[in-house]
Amino acid sequence: MALGWKGLETLVPCYPTSRRWSDRVKEVEVPLFAGYVFCRFELCEKIRVLNTPGVAKIVGFGGAPAALEDAEIGGIQAALRSKLRLWPWQYLRAGDQVRIERGPLRGVQGTLLREPEGLRLVIGVELLRRAVAVEVGPEMIAPAY
């Protein structure tokens, strides 16, 4: 990625999924947030970032870049490191807020979903109105107060 060549810290979180071609099914890695690259940079580097091939714009409000919360990025990074199964999820506002108490996601907070297949923790990125779901067990969670 060109931003990385410029020495900027980037993150493109991906997940494995199966894709079908006419002659086979293959496991591929695809971005959790299609069309987005997370990049840490100082405001004075805005023009340098925008002049990078492949960069269309910087997410922001009123023409000024908007920073993502460190806790949101940290939660996504913890989910990736956990090696638990994860995938993109629609962004949710309603639901039980929980904190993971045990396991590789300890300390991560999100929205709990109860589905027929089991429990899911949804970690939202407010600025992008996107989220990621990760499977969790009932023994891992506690209410977030």
pLDDT tens digit sequence for 40-56: 999 999 999 999 999 99
Burial per residue of 113-145, b for 16 or more beta-carbon CB atoms within 10 angstroms, e otherwise: beeeeebbbbbbbeebebbbbbbbeeebbeeee
Tell me what pLDDT residue 90 has: 61
When pLDDT is cut at 50, 70 and 90, the band that residue 61 belongs to is confident
Say if residue 105's pLDDT is above 70. yes
Question: Which residue, chain included where needed, has tokens 């490191």?
Answer: 81
Give the CA angle between residues 104, 13, 56 to the nearest 5°. Answer: 155
When pLDDT is cut at 50, 70 and 90, the band that residue 144 belongs to is confident
Single out the residue of 84, 132, 125 nearest to residue 104, CA to CA.
Answer: 84
Question: Is the Cβ–Cβ distance between 91 and 130 less than 8 Å?
Answer: yes
Say if residue 94's pLDDT is above 70. no
When pLDDT is cut at 50, 70 and 90, the band that residue 92 belongs to is very low
Tell me what pLDDT residue 4 has: 86
By CB neighbour count within 10 A (0-12 exposed, 13-18 middle, 19+ buried), where does 56 fall? Answer: exposed
This prediction's pTM = 0.71
Where exactly are the structural domains of the chain? Answer: 2-65, 70-143
